[in-house]
Amino acid sequence: MKVRFIFFSISLIHSICLFSQEIITPKEAISLALEHNYGIKIANNQVEVAKNNANILNSGYLPTLTGNANASIDRQNTEGQLANGDTRVATGAETRRYNASINLNYVLFDGLGRSYNYKQLKESQQLTELQARETIENTILQLFTVYYNVAELEENTNSIIQALEISRDRVVRAKYQFDYGQETKLALLNAEVDINNDSINLMNAEQQLKNFKRDLNLVLGNTLPDNFDIDTEVEFNQLMNKAELLEKAKVYNTALQQIEKNIKINSLIVKSEKSAYLPTVGLTGSYGWNESNNNSPLAFVLQNTNSGFSGGLNLTWNLFDGGNTITRVKNAKINLETQNIQKEEFLVTLERDFNNAWEDYQNKLAIFRLQEDNIKTSQNNFDRTHEKFKLGQLNSIEFRQAQINLLRATLTKNQAKYAAKIAELQLLKISGEILNVDF
């Protein structure tokens, strides 16, 4: 009775823990990840930096305005001879000078290089947004890979608990039968060995479950409580059309969109480098104030003050820079050609990866359907074996084998279910549709 009480207590505690745990649904998990995942936070900050870089304040279209000011004091001993022959001496003659100015510089035309550079910044901002989107897609896929691993382990743990309950009842039954002389000591020992094995399996499963829950919490930015559960219900998308999904992949795949964005940026780089062939026209203007004070008796003017505006245009034309511009233009064109080649290669690779993902999903989904049928057969076989075992028509070894077969079938079915769901999400990610799915 002591053994029975111990396992009853374990089951009761486990039931209470499950009852008190908060259930995290897929929608809640996505919401938490988008708000708290560290990688997504970093990606969002990078988008903000790109927005700042693409601002008019960083475009070069605005003028520059600088202010300068200076003050100096000059003290000297001076001796001078006048025209009439007189000699004058100035001891400690002091000269004070003050000046201040505001200077304006504005590039009116730089061969359109500024325009192309600004367009590059805008395209780079969009590229960063695509990179952030890819980070979110990868995080969502990582999230549900861990999420469904937790779901699989939860179902596995529950199945092992059921197996442990059956083994516990078998121990109790064998003990009673042994006490009344209806069974040998060997049967009781076999039952105790089996319940110990089931207990070990449960301990291992629960430890794995805790580890994966910590992994899930990490993906969600460590926002989950200590005790939480997840929704193990899984629905598969049965309405996907292969041809339609492939066309979406060729348009909305995030990696492909980044390559296309890089092609646009490189085409602008070619134009920007060509702008060095044209002259640069600039506008300059300034307002200055100067004052000079001199107390020397030899000075003709004791104080001098002037102020005013000045302005002008300047033209700079680099007629030949030793071939540097020509080299940069050639290299920019080669880089653009390389980007187009990479796009062609990626389209071939994308179609291959899509076909692999599609067939992998269909195969795993079919395996899961077969495992669902197999679990029914295994359950029916176990139920019949259990009844015969109760009637004494089967020995404990045959009963244990049927129990193990049912547990294996259950674990295999659980694995097949979540493997099929993860394969579906991988297919949707390749197609650029993972963020458009209603979880």
Say if residue 296 is in the same domain as residue 327.
Answer: no
The answer as to whether 211 is a domain residue is yes
pTM: 0.85
Per-residue pLDDT of 229-279, as tens digits, reads 999 999 998 778 999 999 999 999 999 999 999 999 999 999 999 999 999
Domain match, 340 and 397 both: yes
Tokens of 424: 């579906």
Q: Which of 316, 338, 372 is the last residue of a domain?
A: 316
Q: How far is CA 59 from CA 314, 315, 336, in A?
A: 21, 21, 23
Same domain, 415 and 378: yes
Please name every residue paired with 80 in a beta bridge, in sequence order, or none if there are none.
88
pLDDT of residue 390: 83
Provide the pLDDT for residue 352.
97
Last-in-domain residue among 290, 316, 342? 316
Q: How confident is the model at residue 290 (pLDDT cuts 50, 70, 90)?
A: confident
* 15: in domain: no
Same domain as 239, residue 189: yes
* Tens digits of residue pLDDT in 28-63: 999 999 999 999 999 999 999 999 999 999 988 999
Mark whether 343 and 288 lie in a shared domain.
Answer: no
Query: In the numeric block, which tokens belong to residue 183?
Result: 């069974």
Do 348 and 312 fall within a single domain? no
Both 152 and 220 in a single domain?
yes
Specify the pLDDT at position 355. 97
Report the pLDDT averaged over residues 120-139: 97
- What residues make up the domain containing 309? 66-109+280-316
Q: Let me know if residue 131 belongs to a domain.
A: yes
**Residue pLDDT, tens place only, 186-212:** 888 888 899 999 999 999 999 999 999
State the CB neighbour count (10 A cutoff) for residue 312.
9
268 domain residue, yes or no: yes
Please tell me whether residues 217 and 163 are part of one structural domain.
yes
Count: domains in the chain: 2
For the chain, the average pLDDT equals: 88
Q: Quick one: CA dihedral 232, 238, 241, 242, positive or negative? A: positive
Reported confidence tier of residue 13, pLDDT bands at 50, 70, 90:
very low
Query: What is the model's pLDDT at position 10?
Result: 44
List pLDDT tens digits, range 311-368: 999 999 999 989 999 999 999 999 999 999 999 999 999 999 999 999 999 999 999 9
Q: Classify residue 437: in a domain, yes or no.
A: no
Pair (153, 182) in one structural domain: yes
User: What's the pLDDT at 1?
Assistant: 38
Residue 300 has pLDDT above 70, yes or no: no
424 and 369 assigned to the same domain: yes
Tell me if 13 is assigned to some domain.
Answer: no
Q: Name the domain boundary from 298, 316, 334.
A: 316
Q: How far is CA 251 from CA 171, 254, 255, 425, in A?
A: 62, 9, 10, 18
CATH number for the domain harbouring residue 231: 1.20.1600.10
Over residues 363-418, the pLDDT tens digits come to 999 999 999 999 999 999 999 998 988 888 888 888 899 999 999 999 999 999 99
Q: Are 212 and 146 in contact (CB under 8 A)?
A: yes
Q: Looking at the structure, tell me whether residues 104 and 208 fall in a common domain.
A: no
Whether residue 404 is contained in a domain is answered as yes
Whether residues 71 and 179 fall in one domain: no
Nearest to 247 by CA among 346, 345, 350, 137: 350
Does residue 17 form part of some domain?
A: no
Q: What is the DSSP secondary structure assignment for residue 374, as one 8-state letter?
A: H
Q: Does residue 8 have a pLDDT over 70?
A: no
Beta bridge partners of 312: 284
d(Cα 240, Cα 357) in Å, to the nearest integer?
A: 13
